[in-house]
Amino acid sequence: MNSKLYVGGIPYTSTNDDLKSHFSAAGNVVSAQIIIDKMTNRSKGFGFVEMSSEAEANKAIELFHDQDFQGRRLTVNIARPLAPREDRPRRAF
């Protein structure tokens, strides 16, 4: 089973390839995705890295949580599933 990690504190100038190569020190990286703001087309400063095993994911947390990456400290945790939104009326613009 693949283990997905939440990575916060990513520098705004980093790329998906930068993130993938950094996390490859902990094992096989299946995917690395930095979340991009749709309106500004800029990084939101967080993303997700998917490792090929739980052991590699735990190793990545040990190696990279609260450590420097390109001048910023990373937050690395196991990703939680997205919580469902409450039913609420949509705003009309």
Residue 17 lies in a domain: yes
**pTM of the entire predicted model:** 0.85
In a domain, 38, yes or no: yes
Beta strands in 3-71, from DSSP E residues, in sequence order = 3-8, 29-36, 43-51, 68-69
Please answer whether residues 77 and 6 qualify as being in contact, where contact means their C-beta atoms are separated by less than 8 angstroms: yes
Q: What is the mean pLDDT of the chain?
A: 91
Residue 27: CB atoms within 10 Å: 18
Give the per-residue pLDDT at 2. Answer: 61
* Token pair of 75 as six digits: 């937050």
The model's pLDDT over 54-77, given as tens digits with 9 standing for 90+, comes to 999 999 999 999 999 999 999 999
What band does 78 get if pLDDT is binned at 50, 70 and 90? very high
In a domain, residue 27? The reply is yes
Domain with 60, as residue range(s), is 3-78
Is 45 contained in some domain? yes
In a domain, residue 18? The reply is: yes
Give residue-wise pLDDT tens across range 20-45: 999 999 999 999 999 999 999 999 99
What is the total count of domains within the chain?
A: 1
Residue 85 — pLDDT band, cuts 50, 70, 90?
confident
Q: Is residue 49 part of a domain?
A: yes
Whose CA is closest to 77, among 7, 27, 1, 2?
Answer: 7
- Residue 86 resides in a domain: no
pLDDT band at 82 (very low <50, low <70, confident <90, very high): confident
Domain harbouring 74, CATH code: 3.30.70.330
Can you tell me the distance from the alpha carbon of 2 to that of 75, in angstroms, rounded to the nearest whole number?
19
Q: Does any domain span residue 60?
A: yes
User: Whose CA is closest to 5, among 69, 45, 53, 71?
Assistant: 53
Cβ(4)–Cβ(63) below 8 Å: no
